């Protein structure tokens, strides 16, 4: 009919900047509660209505194939905590080589070993301790001298041949459920620990088997901030736990 489109809630001459736009909500269809007479008429909504606003990480529609990687990235960013009630993490166990360090070992002419680490990871460990979370370390090899030089003040176990057994011993000694245990690993020797822990993570450069077993894949590589990043992921869980308690 040669009519022009007229905006209903926007003045094109006085548009918001994108950063200042208050945001929009859309219906995701996750759930509906309606009285029987409405449903019998074929309606899902009607009469007096109220809406529940879901967090972005909890609301992903998978309708076509390109929606899948979006959902996957949401899980990797925010984690999947399962259907069981959330519990506060009280212990983080971290594999040393490839997680706290980048896995490289430098050998001097007098046969002394040197490793590098990221100070951000040390800060992450300190932040975890301040939140009342114990941090314990383990390694397949004897790196006790290196750990002593780093002065982390964490319980450590070196020359470990069975990481899962050490993890179980620590969990039982502390009287924790598996939901209260977090694990950060990067090698095939960490796979069973990653599967058992309530929260599991790996650095970005972890082996394929470890990545497959983990619930969270860091954007940071081992020895380059992965421990700090995983600590932030744990803090996100604590926020969820505190929020659930308040509700």
Q: Tell me which residues are annotated as active site.
A: 15
- Residue 77 tokens read as 């960013």
Three-state secondary structure of 98-143: HHHECCCCEECCCCCEECCECHHHHHHHHHHHHCCCEEEEECCCCC
Residue 166 CA to residue 134 CA, distance in Å, equals 15
Dist CA 59 CA 56 (whole Å): 5
Distance CA 164, CA 146 (A): 23
Question: For 69, which DSSP code?
Answer: H
Whole-angstrom Cα distance, residue 199 to residue 155?
A: 20
């Amino acid at each position: 009919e040669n009519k022009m489109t007229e905006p209903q809630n926007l003045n094109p001459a006085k548009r918001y900047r994108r950063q200042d736009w208050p945001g929009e909500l859309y219906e995701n269809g996750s759930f509906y509660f309606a009285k029987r007479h409405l449903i019998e008429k074929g309606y899902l909504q009607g009469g007096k209505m109220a809406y529940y606003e879901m967090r972005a990480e909890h609301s992903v529609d998978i309708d076509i194939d390109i929606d899948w990687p979006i959902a996957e990235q949401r899980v990797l960013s925010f984690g999947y905590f399962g259907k069981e009630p959330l519990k506060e993490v009280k212990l983080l166990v971290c594999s040393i080589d490839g997680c706290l360090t980048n896995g490289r070992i430098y050998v001097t002419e007098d046969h002394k070993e040197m490793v590098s680490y990221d100070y951000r990871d040390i800060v992450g460990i300190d932040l975890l301790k301040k939140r009342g979370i114990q941090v314990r370390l383990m390694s397949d090899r004897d790196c006790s001298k290196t750990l002593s030089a780093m002065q982390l003040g964490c319980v450590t176990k070196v020359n470990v041949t069975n990481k899962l057994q050490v993890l179980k011993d620590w969990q039982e000694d502390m009287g924790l459920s598996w939901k209260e245990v977090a694990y950060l690993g990067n090698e095939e020797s960490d796979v069973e620990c990653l599967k058992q822990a309530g929260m599991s993570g790996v650095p970005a450069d972890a082996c394929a088997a470890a990545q497959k077993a983990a619930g969270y894949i860091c954007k940071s590589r081992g020895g380059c901030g992965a421990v700090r990043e995983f600590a932030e992921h744990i803090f996100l869980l604590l926020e969820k736990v505190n929020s659930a308690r308040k509700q």
